[in-house]
Amino acid sequence: MMDCPKKETLFTYHNRELDQAGVVRISNHLEQCQRCRRVLSGIERNVALVNDSLDLLQPDRIPERTAISVTPRKAKSVRVSERTGLLISSWREGVGIVALAATLVVLLGGMLYLDRRQPDFSTAQAVAINEQQFMADAKEDLRERSIYLSVYNERTGRLEIIRSTAAQDTADIEIISLR
Amino acid sequence: MIFDEIYRSHFEEIYRFTYRLLGNAEKAEDITQDAFTELVRQMNGSAEIRNPRAWLYRVAANLAKNRIRRGKHYRTILQENVGPPVETAEPGADLEVNEQKRMLFRVLAELPVRDQLLIQLYKQGLTYREIAEIADIKETSVGKMLSRAIEKCANKIKQVT
């Protein structure tokens, strides 16, 4: 008779996660070993106890699936202001692009601003949605409560540097340079 | 697979999973929503997700683990009213059910975070391979770790019941 298997092997046998050869080996052993049969019964009782207990931990209701939004829940409004002439021409060329960038800034702003575990400067990478593909790299300065975001617009090949100042309900976004 | 289909198919199971991990309906909803939001971003980007279900579990598990490790949830569990009373024919039985839920959440919260995660993934009916991928451990270690986690959990439940 083979040596008694380890408890975790019996547990894995119980879970039907052993390969065929393992199943045959353990089954043959169990036929001959009362001690292992007792161990297996104990495992089965423990699994049943844990399963039954976890069954009690059901939520009282399942929430409705809501539309997925890329704007954070706490950002209720966004104000975009501009400083440079270059920005204005770009902004007029592609309102949609700036709006997408703004969405991205707000998203990252919300994430970074609300997560106080970050050091003074932290970086994050994100890929924007919809028709324009952006590569974004954000830096956060908690001392100024600002987030600096460089957005690479693949369509125009331009890099836009954006500063976002996030508050609980709003995020002010300012494009401070464009090159 | 399109996002809507994934959302419809897996929302409930991810929510149940995070609820049992955190013991808090509101936080579970937040994390579930965050996991799906992250999936949208990934799917709209260039990332290829071969197994969205396992991916969602992994993201939700990491978000939940962060919450647990920050220790904020434990106090909430102790204070939380675990929901409206369950309707029963026997007076007082609803209170008993709620007290039992609170006690079980407390028992689970006393386990190491990794054990909590393994037990919940096991409860969801995931295979060893999936558990290994989600919990970021070797597949060959799942049986050993899970076996010990279940035993520890069962012993704690026996102590309080």
Most B-contacting residue of A17, A41, A70, A134 (CB-CB within 10 A), to test interface:
A17
Distance, CA of B40 to CA of B55 (rounded, Å): 12
What pLDDT shows up at residue A114?
46
- Tell me if A44 sits within 8 A of A15, measured CB to CB: no
Range B112-127 average pLDDT: 95
Q: How confident is the model at residue B98 (pLDDT cuts 50, 70, 90)?
A: confident
- Tell me if A53 sits within 8 A of B156, measured CB to CB: no
Structure tokens at B63: 């978000």
Q: List B residues 8-47 in contact with A (Cβ-Cβ < 8 A).
A: 8, 11-12, 15-16, 19-20, 23, 25, 28-29, 32-33, 36-37, 40-41, 44-47
**Total tally of structural domains belonging to chain B:** 1
Q: How confident is the model at residue A76 (pLDDT cuts 50, 70, 90)?
A: very low
Say what the ipTM of the complex is. Answer: 0.84
Q: How confident is the model at residue A103 (pLDDT cuts 50, 70, 90)?
A: low
Q: Where are the alpha helices (DSSP H) in chain B?
A: 3-22, 25-44, 52-69, 72-79, 93-109, 113-123, 128-135, 139-160
Q: How confident is the model at residue A170 (pLDDT cuts 50, 70, 90)?
A: very low
Q: Do A54 and B120 touch (CB under 8 A)?
A: yes
Phi-psi map region of B91: left, alpha, beta (phi>0 left; psi -120 to 50 alpha): beta
Structure tokens at B87: 């309707």
Is-above-0.80 flag for pTM?
no
Enumerate the β-bridge partners of residue A149. A138, A162
Better-predicted residue by pLDDT, A162 or B104: B104
CATH code for the domain of B78: 1.20.140.160
- Tell me if A123 sits within 8 A of A115, measured CB to CB: no
Q: Do B128 and A15 touch (CB under 8 A)?
A: yes
Distance, CA of B157 to CA of A50 (rounded, Å): 8
Interstrand relation of A134-141 and A146-153 (parallel, antiparallel or unpaired): antiparallel
* Nearest of A157, A162, A160 to residue A172 by alpha carbon: A162
Could you tell me which residues of chain A have a Cβ less than 8 Å from any Cβ in chain B?
7-9, 11-12, 15, 17, 43, 45-47, 49-51, 53-54, 56-63, 65-66, 68-70, 117, 126-127, 129-130
The residue segments making up the domain with residue B26 are 3-160
